[in-house]
Each structure stands twice: as structure tokens, then as C-alpha cells.
Amino acid sequence: GAVVSQHPSRVICKSGTSVKIECRSLDFQATTMFWYRQFPKQSLMLMATSNEGSKATYEQGVEKDKFLINHASLTLSTLTVTSAHPEDSSFYICSAKQGGGTEAFFGQGTRLTVV
């Protein structure tokens, strides 16, 4: 089956620093990638949708200057949390979809802790 690899699985960073999370589709070309965030005991909430080679589309309430998304190739998308604060501590998970496909495949997620 389709495999999506997300890295790192856990990261702890100091307040004010930036953190980059990578999402790779290993055996298919992901024309569309999605980034989600999940707070404890809450549902996954879509942050943004990115199409390869285009600017990401952000959901309402998500700061595009804080959460930088790059989808420069068909197998890699990155999410950079800039100037991280403790309230950004969360579980971030990506998913990837082939063009025309109906199913998206999920990465393993990244647990971000900002101290």
C-alpha cells in the first residue's frame, strides 16, 4: 500500500525557535498534501492543503506566516512552525493523495513540544 513517512516523530524546541516537519510519499506521487493538527482529546483539524508547485491554501484561523508550508516536489511537503510558542505544542500529522485518487494516506505524525 501507499506509504507516507513523516519526520521527526517527536521534537522538543525552545520558545521562539523554528521547527521543520517533513512529509514524504515513498511510493507514489502526491499531487496534494494535507496538514492537520490535533490537540489533546480533540479531533484532527485541517490546517492547510497544498498542491505541488502551488501556494498552500490555509483554513480559517490558521496563520500562514507562522505555519509555512512548502510542497516543492511530488514526494515532499514541509511544514515549518516559525517562532514557536508553548501553545503551538500539539500533534501534527500530514496526509498525501495522488491526483484523481479518493483516498489520502497518513504519516505517523509529529509530537511537537515547545518549552
User: Which residues make up the interface to another protein (CB under 8 A)?
Assistant: 6, 34, 36, 41-46, 49, 91, 93, 95, 102-109, 111
Closer residue to another protein, CB minimum distance, 46 or 74: 46
CA 7/CA 9 separation, integer angstroms: 5
Is 14 or 41 the residue whose CB approaches another protein more closely? Answer: 41
CB of 103: closest distance to another protein in angstroms? 6
d(CA 110, CA 52): 22
Q: How far is the CB of 80 from another protein (least distance, A)?
A: 20
CA distance 70 to 73: 9
Q: Compute the least distance from the CB of residue 82 to another protein, in Å.
A: 23
